[in-house]
Structure 1
Amino acid sequence: MQLMTSCAAGAALLLLLHCCQIASIVGHESALTVVKNPDGREGGGADEETEVAVDEEDLEVVQPTEDWQTLKPGQAVPAGSHVRLNLQTGQREVRIGKEQLKYWTQEHRETEEIQSTISPDDLKWAMKKMKEELNPVRKETDRQLTVQHIHDSVASKYRPLDELKRDLAQLDLLVETDVQIMKRLLDQFNSSNSTTEQRLSILLELEYLVHQVLFAVAALLRNFPYSQRHFLSHGGLQVLSELFKADGGGVLRTRIVTMLYDMISEKELISQAGLDLVLDASHEERVHQYSQVSLQGELLEKGWCSLVPQLLESTEHDYREKALRALLAMAPMCLDQYRLDSSLLGSLLSLRDQYQEMVQSEMIVGEENGYFAEIVELIHALQFKMK
């Protein structure tokens, strides 16, 4: 107990001596002064002494380092420096603050990085690039050279068609386009030396080639009234009627009838849309363009009112459906001819009975509004118009 009391008394005495020493230092006439850094920054650390305002004239400002150094009387330190009192020596000590150290280290590192990454060659290249960028004539010349280089590179990989034809001709190979092939086949077909078997073979080849060209014609005509007008003015429907008559299988007939139905329907839809909607400039222009397409008159003149019903003779349900839809679309212009066509009347009665039986079969399996019921509705609609 006595030992503990002695230790406590010694510690209290030591603390008292330290406090007296601090008081004597603070009260000294050369008190610690904090000045601004040369770059204008201010800062402080957790270990800084309390700032005391004194006259800063003729003060010696100490620049701190990373190591603790002793401060002499009358010396000042930059703001942000760390100052401590060494209790063993009674001297004030200072070192650079954390914020100052961070700033110095970062600035030093960035300077070193810049110096290490930029070489004299890099500077020369950058100056040369700047001069080139500021020269528009040089830039345009470089662009033209680049384009020419690309063109020459592409051209070197491909050969002109005429050159290929010459080379193939030397190899006894003949390159023909589809149009050239069709012309050649037609010449062979019309030749008096052709046998029946040869003509049948020619027709099969022509069917395949024409089959591809109908797709192309349909793509050019749909929703393009300007193209439709030129197609009609150059006898396009006459050509289609000849192809329709020559087609025995029905595939080509169906595609032709479908294309005609689409052309009639889109013109009708454009006309009807203007009745309910506020017309804008583009819609008025489309209505004007379609008004110049005399499709109905051409269909009537070229005999399509009697050609389309022939497609009903097919055994394919899809072909019959396409024919019925086209007949309904053509009814406003062909109704008088429909009523005089006994073959059409007979076909409609026969088809109605046939498809009504199929509808009954659909209903048995639970399909009340099936595909065959739709065909029956088309037949009924056409018969109603013909009454």
Structure 2
Amino acid sequence: MFNVVNSIRAFNITSLVLFLICCYYMCVSSEHAPGALTVVNKDNDDDNDEVSVQNEDSEITNIDPLNVFYPEKEWKKIQPGQAIPAGLHVRMNMETGLNEAKLMDGDDGHKYWKRGEKEGMVNTDSKEFTHEELKRALKDFKATKHDVPNEKKAEEIKQKYRSYDELKEDFKKINMAVKTGQEIVTELFDKLNSTNISTEARETLLEDLEYHLHQYDNAVLFGDLGGISLLVKGLNHTDPTLRSLSAFVLGSAIQNNPKTQINAIESGALHQLIRSLATDPEIAVKKKVLYAISSIVRHFPFAQKKFFELGGLRSLMYLFEDKKLHSLQVKVITLMSDLYEERVHWLGHLEPTEEKYKQYEQIPLKDSLLDHGFCDTMVPLLELPDHDSREKIVFAMLSLYDCCEKKFHNIVSYLLKLEDEYLTLAVDEDEGDYFQQIHKNINSLRQQLSVAYKKDEL
């Protein structure tokens, strides 16, 4: 009994080994079949492409049906060396020991096969392909491989996106329409210099110019064309909006621009601005005029000296006679404190022999402020209700302390009151240190005055 069992077991193992060897041989023979067919397209993708068949190990040749296995609905023997298409039912006949294959149920006879980078298709109905069949099959194969959109999808894409030719045409039009900043400024100057334009058109031109003249080179070009003189003329226009815009554009053109600052002095702009500040009835015009004056004199000692010589400070003092001009008065105090700090800075950093030092030294700033009673203008403005004005006035008093210290002695008690107020606000402040900084400045000013007051008593 034991011998029978061992014999059956040995037979089973031997059969299994033979089956595995046959399967391995079958796979190897199909993988390395020397005559596997490959469909190859030429370089041209046109509809009239020639489609040929190529042997993997040979040059392009005609179709040889013996190089590939053509399956049928019944089991059929696989010849050695034949390439087997995918999707077939394959077996080894245990009786004959030969490999066999057949079509799966429901297959139509058309089979694709692939080995490495080589691909092909067999037609089991006719055993060979006509030229049209190959071309049609190749097109279908390309479409599947590259996922080419169908006609409907292609039309949707075409409607959604513009063609390359359309984009080229649009860019061409854009390039023709693009102008440089200097071309725009020249064009605006020519239009502004014309007498045949309406008030509304002139306003629009000035607004456009204000935007473009912030650019340094545009402002220089505008001045070279004579634009500063045009703006100075505009300060005398009967329309207050045009006067205001002319002053605004003038200030934008010369702000932080030494070349146009010099141009403005040469064009008589400073004299005209000082006159407008004193005589123009419109507050809106005065604001823009003050802005233009500030743009000319800042960091330009020659213009500062000229400003005081032309009676500029006297025109500024007129603004303190009207209680409705508090916002302008704060701007004037800020400007004077800035000029004072600027002068102190440069006199402390330049050599006395330098030309810029000599220019700042010639500015009669301190004497003019004292002679015109400028220091007295700051004290009443401390009572303004808004924090922004108070902050600027306290800061200006600190900047002008050396000049105006004797005029501030009688405000120590009021500064104590403000100090307490801003200490409370600083404690309740949720974010930032705005009130804390104001409190710090008030405290600094009060302490300086207290020390000076004690010295005077001694």
Q: What TM-score results when the alignment is normalised by the length of structure 1?
A: 0.45
Higher normalized contact order (CA 8 Å, seq sep 6+, divided by chain length) = 1
